[in-house]
Every structure is written in C-alpha cells, then in structure tokens.
Structure 1
Amino acid sequence: MKNNVSFSWLFLPILILALVSAAIFIERAGISPTIREPSLNFLKPKEDETNGELIEGEPKSLVLYDSVDDDGLRQLTVVTDTLDSMRVRYDIFDINEAYDVNDFIGNGYEVIVITFYNLDKLNQQILDLTQWVENGGRMLFSIRPEITSTFTAIYRKLGIISYGYDFTSIAEILYTSDLFPGMKMRTLESGFVEDTSLALQLEDEAHVHLSSADRNATPILWDYDLGDGRFVVINSDQFLDKYDRGVICAAYSLLYDTFIYPVINSSMVFIDDFPGPIPEGSNEIVYQEFGKDIEEFYINIWWPDMKDFARRYGLEYTGLLIETYNEKVAPPFIEEKSVERYEYFGDSLLDLGGELGLHGYNHVPLVTNIDEIPAELGYPVWSSTEAMQTSIQDLYTFGISLFPEQEFFTYVPPSNILSSEARAWIPEIIPEVRVIAAQYIEYPAIAAFYDQEFEEASDGIIEVPRVISGYAVSPFYQWTAANELVLHYVNSHFVHPDDVLDEERSKGQGWVYLRDQFEQYLIWLESAAPGIRNMTASEGGMAVQRFDRLGVSTDCDNAGCIISLSNFYDEAWLLMRTKLAPATIRGGTITEVTPSLYLIGAQDARVEIDFEE
C-alpha cells in the first residue's frame, strides 16, 4: 500500500515568513519613497512683486530710550525688534536730548514705551505723562525702574501699594495667567538669568501675569488701569535678549482691549546628521539599557521611536544629510560607497512625509579663517573657497544619487557656523537651496556663528532659524520656546541621532529618559498651540515668506475688528489678544488658543470679526 505524506501544513508558516521578509525588504531596501506634495509653494522673488507698506499710517508708539546706559540700549533693541515683528509703527527718542513733553503727548501717539531705569531723566515731566495715561493713553515700562524721587512721585499710579528699598533676586518664575500659551500656573527655574526686581505689593485691581514662585510672590509683569488709560509694568531688569522678545510682545498686547499681530504658525523638527554615518561599536549607556550596539540601537530602537512620534504627533521631520565624519578640507573628497543605511533611513523619513536637506560633506563648518572658530571646538579650517564649494557640490551630487526624487531646498550649516563669504555663494553653488536654517539665539563668542531672524533675505534665501534643541528641553529652552510661541507661533526644534551618545548633550541620561522628556515636550506643545501646523523646513520657509512680506492694518472697537492685509497671497496667520469674546468671523477662521488669545487664519485680504454683545 502506497503511503501519501502531505506537507501542506508547512505552507502557511512559509507564506507568512515570505510576506514578512518581503515587507522588511520593501521598507529597508528597494522601493522608492513617496514624496509628499508641500502644503504651500515658494513665492516669486520680491523684485517681481508689488511691495506695499508693511506698517501703514502714522506711528502709534513712542519709544523713549537712554543712549548712555548699556542695558537701556539693549532694551531698546529688544523692544524695537519686537515691535517690528508685530507691525507696530513707532518713533524713538533719546531722553538725553532736549525735549518738550508736549511733543510726546501731543503728537497722536497711542502708546509710550519707557526702556530705561532712571526715571529722574523725565523729572517733573513724568507727572504730565501719567496724566496723559489717566486721560486715555497707554504706557509700557519694559524694564523695572530704579527707586528715585521721580519713581516715588508716581508709584501709586502704577498700581503699587508699597515697595522695599532693596531689590530681590528671582530664583523661579510663576506664570500666573494664560498670557503665554500653555504656561498658566507653570513654574520655571530662572537659573539661566540674573534677575533683580523691586520687592513690592500691588492693588487688588492690578492683573499679575508673571511673579516669583516663592512665598513673596513678587509681581514681575502686570497691567493696571488708571482712569481711562492703562499701565503695563515689567518689574525686572532681565528681559534684554532676543529670547525675551515674547515677554515684550505679550506685555505690549496687554495695553489694548484687543490687539492683533501677524505670526508664522509653523512647527518644525530638524534631525541633524541624518541620514549620516552610524558610529561603530557600542556605547555604555545604550548597552546597559538595551543590550545593543550603536547600529542596532539606531535601527531597532531610536528610529522606530522617532517614527512613532511622527505618526502620533503629526511631525514632519527634516533630515539633514551628511556624507562622512572625516575632516578632509581639501580635494579630492572620497565618496561614501556604503550607502544602504543612508537609503534606508532617508527613504523611511520621506515615507513619513518629511524631507531631506543638506548639512555637509563632513561636519567641518564652511570657514577659511581660523580666527572665526574657537580652538576648543577642534575644527580645522578649509584650505580654500574652492575646496568648500567642491565639498558642498559633492554632497549635493551624493544626495541626488541616493534620493533622485527629492529636491534639496534646505541647507543647515554644521554646528550653526557659517562664514559670511560662504553664506554669499551658497545660493550660486547650489541654486536649489531656498532655505538656510541655523540658530535663533546669538553666540557672540563664535565670530562665524550664524544667528538669524525669521525673514526673507535680500538675495532671496529664506532664513528659518532653529530656536531650541535637544530631547530633554531645559528650563532655558522652555522659556525660549514659550517666548517664541507667543511672538511668532513657531516651534523650531533640532535634535541629533547621537545626542544619547554625547555625555554633554545627554547630561549622562539614557534614551529611555530622553525619549520620555521629548514626548513630554510634544504633549505640551500639542496642548499649548492649537492649530499650529506641522511642517518641513521648506514649508516653514514658505510660511516665513508670507509672514515677512505681510502688511497689517486693524480697526477694532468693542463691537468687532476689521483686519486689512497688504501683500496677501493665499493665506496669512495672526494672533488676537482680546478681553472680548469673538462671535463670528468673515474671511477667515478662528481658533481659541487661550481664553484671551485666538489664532486667526486669514483666507482673504479683509477679515471681519464680530464680538459678542
């Protein structure tokens, strides 16, 4: 009798194994990624457009400053930079020059901003100014005053009941209102500042927005109505830097029952050195946590976690391609031959809806002058301009050979260092580059450090600075992020794959801790910024173009607001701070950010808002 043996039971496991293998092969090796269409487009060069006046009408504000005081000059810069961003037209006046106070209060100004300590420079004229406020004017003290006879004459008009003669240092700041999105009743250590404030007590009618978090609850920012006018007072000598502009913006907006200003509305996450070479060997912390070497960690732990964040929080990563970590600064440049990992990570990022930009052939900044880079950074300098240009061209060629369907619109300088010479020729060497993304915060110690504003440069390059960095957001970066959110409605954040490998960047913490801290920040951002748009760097650049060119004029009363926009293309975004309740909007959309702050999406050059009766 013939025995019939069936092997059909083996078919299902073999089929499953084949399908899994095919899926892995497709993801990690062979299929071209899907390139997502951008949500916006680049605008035509400025010279081809009609450039209207960004800020229409006569100056609404007078900024008084003290030219002989260094802090006063720094404060003047922070104030005027902030007002420029908010599209507030202003005049400035040096209080050391001869003046007639009637020139201040009789020229149709709505606001006077005082940016200096010593009120004695106003002397008895301060009484005329406070009377002007009582009659309907508005005054912002953007820096805490010194205790002088002039201050003593007016302190009660500022809502102050009593004060001490000693200054107090603020160790921790408490956000007591919803003035800053997502920050109400949060505290931040102020160890990154050296703040001194007047120890004082306020009238019950004063509205406090920032205070010390200690038992004294020293008021740091408040508004106080006097007669028909309003004072806003910053009781601090700290807010003198670029990362403090949001405080000035928020304080200025409190002067009005309703105030509207333009914003960018963009959240971007950059991954520097990615795709790039994976360090060989193992790392002690990584091995202790996961029992894996660095390559296994990148492939099986770090990148799956980053993809999970992208899917759950809608992140649109911008990866910055680097070819090698060698330090060659003269040709010939050796092309990387082992490209499988570059293709795997790059394709995977593109499939998530992200984009790739250019970082460097290697990580040596584009500088030829050794004096422009501190020796402690350990970088060599390039042998010549031609060598720098060749290296960037080689990187671009490497990029398009791996990702032929990707346009490399963005360049990020290694270590955010870029010589003025290289900045000038980058658009000529790689014409595809439209966006340069370096750093928002200045570092004067590095001569070639490339700090930026959110703006469109005269050569057409769009400057899109990164604002904060790292997976674990420090108190300083949380402060900076909160300031930038209220000023531009922007989150611009960069990380590195090897942050966990670097003891200084990781603070000795492992990936589990860094991953959890990063997620906590993403949770905060999602809650703090309703309606913020997740974007790649190039899309962020497109949004910056529209913001930078936009002109804004508003006409508001208790019934509603009319917003008139010049240089309007297809969309614009604004924030409206108001004590009133919006009822309807025409020509746009409106999203509540906090009970007193609203995100307006303009769909037309004229937007009308009605308030509830």
Structure 2
Amino acid sequence: MVGQMDYKFKLGKSIYLVIMFVLIIGLFLGIFNSNYILKYLPNKTVIGVNDGESSITRLSDDTLKGLNEDEYLILYNEEDSSSIQLKENILQTLAYMKKKAKAVTIADVTDTFDQYKNVVITFEEVSALPNIPVLEEYTAKGGSVFFAIRPEIKNSLYNLYRKLGIYEIGEFITPNGLKLTSNLLIKQDQMVMKKGEIPDNSSLSVGLDDRSIVYAESIDHIPLLWDTTYKKGKFMVFNGTMLETRENRGLITGAFSLLNEDFIYPIMDMKVVYIDDFPAPIPEGKNKIIYEEYRRDTPSFYQDIWWPEMQKLAAKYDVKYTGLVIQSYDDKVTPPFKKEDQNRNSFVQFGRELLKMGGEIGIHGYNHQSLTVNAKAVEDLGYHAWKNQEDMETSLNTVENYVREIFPNYEIKTYVPPSNRIDHVGEAALRNAIPSISVLSSMYIPDSVNYTTVHEFDQGETFIHFPRITSGYEYTKKKKWAMANAVTSLGVFSHFIHPDDILDDDRSSKKKWSRLGKEYNRFMREVHTDYPWLSSMTARNAGEQLTNYKQADVYIDEKKDRLSVQIDKFPGEMHFILRTKKKIGKLTNCEVEKIDEGVYFVKAKKASIELGLVE
C-alpha cells in the first residue's frame, strides 16, 4: 500500500539557499555586534563622525564695502567695580550675538548718541552722567536706552523718573525672588524663582504708570524689568543688581530682544551631554543602598539598570553622549602608571555601545588627579599635585594607549579635566601628550572655588573651549534657570553627569537612583519639550561647529517690512533667533519655525538671506 511505503523527505535547493543566507546574515550580525568591528573598521564608519572642514563662503569685497553694523554704546563708571563687571558681562553677551559694541567711561561721553542703536547705563548714580538732557533727546528722537542696574535715589532720578514710566518711588528693598511675566527667557513665561534660587537683588520699591510694560517682577509684585515709550523712543529699566553674572545672560539677551523691534541674532545651536568617568573602573562588591533597592551588586546595577536607562533616555530625548575615560582610580602622580585590566570587559562593552549610539569617547585622565603643579589648587579635594609636566604626559600617554588598544583607529578629540581643574602646565602636557585633542571642556559659570577652570565658549591659543553649564541628576530650579538663560543667549545646552554620583551621599543628596533617575528624566524631558530645535551632538562636533560660528561675521539690515542678513565666512548653514510681533512673510534662502510666542528659529541656507515681515 502507498501509506506503508518508505518515503524519504528531500530538501530542495531553494531551502538550502535560504538556510545558508540566514547563517551568513547571523554571522555578519554577530561580527557587527562584537569588538571585532570596532578594531578593524575606521571609527568614522562606526560613529558617523565628520571631522572634515566645512566649506566656507566669503562675501565679495564690493558687498562687504556696502555693509554697515548697528553699534551699541555701553556707558560705565571706571571707579565702580560693579559697573565694570556689568559692562564686561553685557559686552560679552552682545559679542555672542555678534552685535558691535563700544564701552565708554562717563568721563569720555560725547555730546550725541545718535549713531548708536542702543545706549546702556551700567552704573547706579544717574547724576554721574554729565549730559542727561542729551540722553533724553536721543530717546525722544527714536533711540532706546537700557538702564541695566537699578538707579540710586538722588535728585537726578527725581528729574528723570516720570520719563522712565515710574509714578512713585519708595525705598531700597530686597524683593522676594523673581517671576517672569513674559517669555523674556524663551519658553519660560510665568517661570517663578523663589528667594535663594537666584542671587538677591537690591531693588527700588516703585509704582509704574499705565504706559509701562512689565516683563518680570518679584513674587511680591515689585516690578523688576519694564519698558516704556518716550515720544518716538523707549526706556527700559532693570530694577535690580543681578545682571553682572554669566548665569543671567539670558535676561540681558531677552531684554535687548524686547527693547528693539524685529531683533535677530545668531546662536550656536548645540545640545551636548557629557558622562564624566565613563567608561571607568566600577567598584566591586555591593553598595548598601543599591543592593537594598535592586538586589544587585554595583557592577550589575550599572550594567543592568543604570546604563539601559541612560540609553533609553538618549533615544527618547535626542541625546548623544560624550563619555570621558578614566583608566584607574589610584592617586598616583609619579610613574610608573599601571595598566588596569580587571575592568577591560566592561570598558569594551560600554565603549562599544556608546559609539554605536552615535556618541564619543574622550579623555578624563589616567586617574582622577587634576593636572596641576599647584598643591593649593587641589588640597580641598584631597588630591595630589603633580611634580612636573613630564609625569603628566606619561599618565596621559598611558590612558591614550589603553583606549587605542581597544579602539585602534579611534582619534581622541575631547578632554575634560578631573574636577574641572587644570593649570597652564597641565594644558601644555595635554597638548604634547595627545596632539589630536582639540576640545577642552571645563565650566562656564564660576563657582565659589577659585581654582575651578572657567571658560567662555571660545577658541583659546591651543584648544577650543566648550564649557559645561549645568550638571547632575537632580532637578532643581537653579539648574533650570541656568539652562534657560544659556539657551536664550547662546542656543546651547551643555550638561554633565557622573555615574558614581549615585554612590555618594553628598552628590546624590542622599537620594536613591529610583528618585534621581526620575528627576534626571524630567530635566531632560523639559529640555527636549521646550527646545526640540536644539541640535544634539557630541563634544567633538560641537567644537567644530563652535569654530565655524566664531569665525562668521554677521551684518543685518533692518527695514519696516523685511530683515536682510549677510554672513561673511558662511559655514554652509547658520542658525538664528528672531523676536518680532509681526507675521513672517516671504523668505529667501532660509527656513523659519515658530518656537514661542513672537519668537522664531531661523535656518540660513546661504550667505545672504531675507525675511519678509508683515504688520
């Protein structure tokens, strides 16, 4: 019978081909996910880094000859340290916006201000200004004056106060915090900062007339920033003393953008997140708090909990991490420096996954000893000073070789000094030991420690300075304030964290990871939600973009119905913030996106752009 006959099942050729194809694909994927791919493929292939120079477009000489720049006059009192500090802060803020500015002492004030776009007063004693009537006349004819510090109560103020929109003057007070009654800081309308979350202000108790528009006030309703029209011009007054510091530069930028009609300025447009001490040796054993919460030893926690959460957050909120390698946590500052291999597997895993996410590996150091020969500069940290530059270089060569053994084709570009401290000897060692490093990232906002390395966003003699602005996992209003000011003034979000903050009671404020992780998620979510237009990138790419931004020259021609922008040394694309009450009309060589009420994100696609404006 047929049913009882022997029957042999035979595979067709097509089935064999399918099986072979699946095996080949599986083998390929296995290789791609292994360390092999990172050792034998160029790193630019793996991480998509573009280290090539951007094409730069120059304006013709004839075009440049016909371009003019508005100029801002900053008046200051050379005998008043606060006035000098405020003047410098405003000059730097204007420089970032590529606005031409001139600082003049009150002793050198000329008899006319007509050639200036704005006049800025940076001293309290208005009577020190020798020609107040000239200032009034300048405003009456259409000029704009910004009092960047609250004036003193003297006869000169009583002669002027009604023109400033004030109908009543009381005493000096310390107001309770600050509330934004406008989007002075982009996307932060109605933001409230309580007393202690911002520097204390010395203010005047004032009453304003109906002509005045208030942009910020204290929680107890003392006006802190307002403007008022005076004939054809405008006066603006900051009723406080806190604009001297970097963390408040967004207020200065916002003030200028509200004082002037149709105000446009270039921004850097960068979103950079650093993970200091990553990859780095992970402590063996169990941390009590982590084990109680997750039932894992410390290495397992970082591998199974912390790192997967950081990866998910990066994917969700458009973050590219720049990891800074530490090879050892010993405290040696003299050779020989040991080659640590016990954490090699985790280093390979974390480093590989970081690069595959589009991230970057930079250098933090062989160990966590700051590169300085000054013992006083690190005694509060319990660190050791280095004896000489040669020993520093030996340690840097050790960690560079360690990275190159695992990622042979990888070119290191970024360095972050341990504890954000490095001296000139350390910088010389860094330059000699690892010449490929071009970006040095320390701190932007000074702290109470005199030895912290603080930089502007600039091109130093040796390195591109791309500092960090905020740090940590905790969600705080101070952090949000610094972030919002930097985004408004610079178009930059620059933040760093440490994996081992979780293990330190002080740095974690004794909070468990279950809470810290949620706070960090909230902060990154708000940045992404409020500023989705920020361009996420690594530190090396930020360094390149900063260089392009710094070398470009911007010329703006304002008309009632349009803005024309010319960019010399145009890097291929450049981004701007525009604030206007008008509607956007015809666009030439640019793209515009509304990002807040009356605020627009502008992408210049060519060296000459034009934006039509409709009343």
Task: State whether TM-score is above 0.5.
Answer: yes
Equivalent residue for 2:212? 206
Which of 130, 149, 160 is the aligned partner of 1:154?
A: 160
**Counterpart in 2 of 1:519?**
521
Is the alpha carbon distance of 1:309 and 1:188 closer, same or farther for their aligned partners in structure 2, counting shifts above 3 Å? same
Question: What CA distance in whole angstroms lies between the structure 2 residues aligned with 1:601 and 1:56?
Answer: 21
Per mean C-alpha deviation after superposition, the further-off stretch among 438-447 and 224-233 is 438-447
Check conservation: 1:43, 1:545, Cα contact below 8 A: no
Q: Which residue does the alignment assign to 1:197? A: 203
Residue 297 of structure 1 pairs with residue 301 of structure 2:
yes
Q: 3-state SS of the aligned residue for 1:295? A: helix
CA separation in 2, counterparts of 1:183 and 1:369? Answer: 42
Does 2:457 correspond to 1:446? no
Structure 1 residues 180 and 431: alpha-carbon distance in aligned structure 2, compared to 1, 3 A threshold: same
Map Cα deviations across residues 42-92 of structure 1 (whole Å, 9 max, x no partner). Answer: 4599xxxx9x99997466121110111121111111111111111221222
Matched, 1:333 2:337: yes
C-alpha contact 1:59 1:91 (8 A) present in aligned 2? no
Q: Check if 1:457 corresponds to 2:457.
A: no
Decide whether the 8 Å contact of 2:273 with 2:319 is kept in 1: yes
Amino acid at match of 1:204: D
Amino acid in structure 2 at the alignment position of 1:450: T
The two structures have a TM-score, normalised by structure 2, of: 0.89
- Contact map agreement 2:393 2:432 (CA 8 A) in 1: no
Contact 1:180–1:482 (CA under 8 A) maintained in structure 2: yes
From 93, 102, 121, the equivalent of 1:82 is 93
Task: Classify the secondary structure of the residue corresponding to 1:254.
Answer: helix
- Partners in 1 of 2:64 and 2:396 — Cα distance? 38
Structure 2: distance between partners of 1:519 and 1:83:
33
CA contact (8 A) 2:54 2:572 kept: no
Residue equivalent to 2:554: 552
The one-letter amino acid of 1:371's match is K
Q: Deviations over 1:68-126 (max 9, x none)?
A: 1121111111111111111221222211x2655x2x425x1221100011111126x32
Q: Deviations over 1:277-333 (max 9, x none)?
A: 001222232223222221111111110100000111111100001100001111111
Q: Report the AA paired with residue 452 of structure 1.
A: H
Structure 1 residues 53, 521: closer, same or farther in 2, change over 3 A? farther
Which letter maps to 2:458? E
SS in 1 for 2:259: coil
- Mean CA deviation greater in 240-249 or 278-287: 278-287
| Residue from 55, 71, 76 that aligns with 1:65 | 76
Among 359, 367, 377, which residue is 1:362 paired with? Answer: 367
Provide the C-alpha distance between the structure 2 equivalents of 1:59 and 1:608, rounded to a whole number of angstroms. 17
Letter in 1 for 2:358: G
Q: Secondary structure at the match of 1:200?
A: strand
Higher deviation after alignment, 281-290 or 484-493: 281-290
The answer for the alignment partner of 2:22 in structure 1 is: none
Name which of structure 1's ranges 358-367 and 593-602 shifts more when overlaid on structure 2: 593-602
Kept in 2, the 8 Å contact 1:55–1:89? The answer is no
Instruction: In structure 2, list runs of 5 or more residues that go unmatched.
Output: 1-25, 39-44
Q: Distance in 2 between matches of 1:271 and 1:27?
A: 25
Q: Distance in 1 between matches of 2:255 and 2:69?
A: 22
Q: TM-score of the superposition, structure 1-length normalised?
A: 0.89
In structure 2, the partner of 1:409 is 413
The question of 1:105 aligning with 2:113 is answered: yes
CA distance in 2, matches of 1:326, 1:314: 35
| Equivalent of 1:478 in 477, 480, 484 | 480
Aligned to 1:17: none
| 8 A Cα contact 1:27 1:344, kept in partner | no
Q: What SS class does the counterpart of residue 288 from structure 1 fall into?
A: helix
Question: 1:464-490: CA deviations, max 9, x gaps?
Answer: 101100011322222111111011110
Shift of 1:236: 0.7
Tell me the secondary structure at the aligned position of residue 79 of structure 2.
coil
Aligned residue in 2 for 1:93:
104
8 Å CA contact 2:585–2:611 kept in 1: the answer is yes
**For residues 413 and 43 of structure 1, do their structure 2 counterparts lie closer, same or farther at Cα, with a shift above 3 Å needed?**
farther
Amino acid at match of 1:172: G
2:320 to 308, 316, 320: 316
Provide the C-alpha distance between the structure 2 equivalents of 1:258 and 1:510, rounded to a whole number of angstroms.
Answer: 48
- Contact residue 552 and residue 571 of structure 2 kept, 8 A: no
- Whole-angstrom distance in 2 between the partners of 1:190 and 1:57: 44
The whole-number CA distance in structure 1 between the counterparts of 2:37 and 2:65 is 44
- 5 Å-filtered alignment, 1:277-292, equals 277-292=281-296
Aligned to 2:239: 235
Q: Secondary structure of 1:393's match? A: helix
Question: How far is the alpha carbon of 1:40 from its aligned partner?
Answer: 6.8
Unaligned runs of 5+ in 1: 1-20
Count of aligned residue pairs for this structure pair: 578
1:27 shift after superposition: 9.6
Letter paired with 1:105: F
| Contact preservation (8 Å) 2:572, 2:606 | yes
Partner of 2:593: 591
Contact 1:552 1:566 survives alignment (8 Å): yes
* Structure 2 match to 1:581: 583
Give, in whole Å, the separation in 1 of the partners of 2:501 and 2:34. Answer: 26
2:389/2:428 contact within 8 Å kept: no
Assess, with a 3 A threshold, how the Cα gap between structure 1 residues 230 and 300 changes in structure 2: closer, same or farther.
Answer: same
Q: Which moved more, 1:198-207 or 1:379-388?
A: 198-207
Pick closer, same or farther for the CA change 1:585–1:58 going to 2, 3 Å.
closer
Q: Specify the alignment match of 2:170 in structure 1.
A: 164
2: CA distance between counterparts of 1:500 and 1:434? 31
Amino acid at match of 1:347: R
Report if the CA contact (8 A) 1:54-1:552 is conserved. Answer: no
Q: CA deviation at 1:386?
A: 0.6
What is the aligned counterpart of 1:531 among 525, 533, 539?
Answer: 533
How far apart are the structure 2 equivalents of 1:72 and 1:288? 54
SS for the counterpart of 2:152 is: coil
| Compared CA separation, residues 99 and 239, structure 1 to 2 (3 A) | closer
